Structure formats: C-alpha cells, structure tokens
C-alpha cells in the first residue's frame, strides 16, 4: 500500500496504527484486570464459607488461589501503567513534531516575506517620510513668519463672516428706515338737535 504525504491511502499513518494497536492491548488488559478482581473476590468469599464449615484445607487452597490472582493482578496493573506511559509519550512526541513542522513552515514564510522588503527599502521610506515632514514644517514656519497682526485680525474677521454665512442669518440693514406718523381719521361733526319747550 503506497503512502500519500506520509499517510496511508486509508488516511492513517503507521504511527497512528501503532498507537491504536497499543490502546487496544491496553483495553484488553483493563478487561482482564476486572476479571481477575472478580476471581479474587470469589476465592475470598469461598474461603470464608469453607472456614465456617470447618473445611480448613479447602479454605487454605482458596486463599492460595487468591494470592496467585493478586500477584497476577499486580503484574497486570504494572503493564497497564507502562502502556499508558508509552501512549502518552508517543502522542506527546507527535505533538512536538507537529509543532516543529509548524515552526519550520512559519520560519520559511517569514524569510520569504522579509526577502520582499529589504532594509534599504525601509530606510528609504523612512527618509522620504522625514523629508516630507521637514518640508511641511518649513512651509508652516514661513507662513507664520509672514503673517502680521493685521493679517491675523483679517483672518479672524473672515472666519466670523464664514460662520455667519453658515447660520444663514439675514443681513442687518445699514440705511435708516423711513418713519411716518400714523394718520388719524377725523370723526364726522355732530349737529346738536333743537328741542321745543314743553308747556306746563
């Protein structure tokens, strides 16, 4: 079976398959360890039962079997610890290799980017920027030196005019407005009415 970029055609590397095999063996040992614990408990209960029945020799034999299973359990647990450590070590080494490959690839990209921009180019850009700033400062200084107090007052007045235009205020009339006295209409003249004397 051929390999593609370090992986088998099924998508797993040889390292992945080796780790999977070790984990399978570990799981089998855990299952076997559980079975041993059941046997130990069974032999212990049987020894107690035989002792209560006065069958000392048979109880002694059960305890011997129990001790054998306990020794077997200790060896099994020791193998489990070794397998766990091996799995952790292999997986950690894989992570270290992946990190190293990532750093290696990143270093290549960084070198490529650095090659696109040389130190001379950076110095030229910084020099041009400094020259442009200095040129602008020189222009500002020349303008500020040529302005008199009268110029400053004119500028402030123009600013005030611009502000007034933005507010769209109507112009204040500069000539005198005509004044006219209000005309009073003459009321019509009332003619008194003559009354005849009344005879008593």
Name the least confident of 116-130, 132-146, 147-161.
Answer: 147-161
Amino acid 179: pLDDT: 60
Mean pLDDT of 153-176: 70
Note the pLDDT tens digit of each residue in 98-133: 899 999 999 888 888 877 777 777 788 888 898 889
Q: Mind listing the pLDDT tens digit for each residue in 168-195?
A: 655 556 666 566 555 555 555 555 555 5
- pLDDT of 200 above 50: no
Q: What is the pLDDT of residue 33?
A: 92
Question: Which tens digits make up the pLDDT trace of 32-74?
Answer: 999 999 999 999 899 889 888 888 888 899 889 999 999 999 9
Q: By CB neighbour count within 10 A (0-12 exposed, 13-18 middle, 19+ buried), where does 43 fall?
A: buried
- Tell if the pTM clears 0.85, that is, is over it: no
DSSP state string for 155-184: HHHHHHHHHHHHHTPPPPP-SPPP--PPPP
Closest C-alpha among 25, 35, 17 to residue 79 = 25
Mean of the pLDDT values across residues 1-6? 40
Distance of alpha carbon 192 from the chain centroid:
106
Q: What are φ and ψ of residue 184, in 5° steps?
A: -105, 120
Which backbone phi and psi does 188 adopt, to 5 degrees?
A: -65, 145
Burial of 68 (0-12, 13-18, 19+ CB in 10 A): middle
The mean pLDDT value of the chain amounts to 78
Instruction: Give me the pLDDT at residue 5, please.
Output: 39
| Share of residues in the chain with pLDDT > 70 (%) | 73
Q: What is the pLDDT of residue 71?
A: 92
Identify the pLDDT of residue 30: 92
Question: Cα angle vertex 112, ends 106, 113, to 5°?
Answer: 90
Amino acid 78: pLDDT = 92
CB 74 within 8 A of CB 30: no
User: Do residues 36 and 77 make contact, with C-beta atoms less than 8 angstroms apart?
Assistant: no
């Amino acid at each position: 079976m051929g390999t593609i970029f370090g992986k088998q055609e099924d998508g797993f590397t040889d390292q992945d398959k080796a780790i999977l095999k070790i984990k399978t063996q570990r799981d089998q040992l855990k299952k076997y360890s559980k079975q041993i614990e059941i046997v130990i408990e069974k032999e212990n209960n049987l020894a107690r039962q035989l002792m209560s029945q006065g069958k000392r020799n048979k109880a002694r034999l059960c305890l011997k079997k129990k001790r054998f299973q306990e020794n077997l359990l200790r060896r099994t647990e020791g193998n489990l610890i070794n397998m766990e450590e091996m799995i952790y070590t292999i997986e950690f080494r894989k992570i270290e290799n992946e990190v190293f490959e990532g750093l290696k690839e990143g270093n290549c990209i960084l070198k490529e980017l650095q090659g696109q921009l040389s130190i001379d180019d950076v110095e030229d850009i910084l020099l041009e920027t400094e020259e442009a700033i200095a040129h602008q400062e020189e222009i500002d200084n020349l303008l500020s030196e040529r302005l008199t107090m009268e110029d400053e007052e004119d500028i402030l007045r123009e600013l005030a005019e611009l502000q007034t235009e933005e507010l769209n205020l109507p112009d204040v009339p500069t000539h005198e407005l005509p004044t006219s006295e209000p005309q009073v209409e003459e009321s019509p003249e009332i003619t008194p009415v003559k009354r005849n004397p009344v005879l008593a």
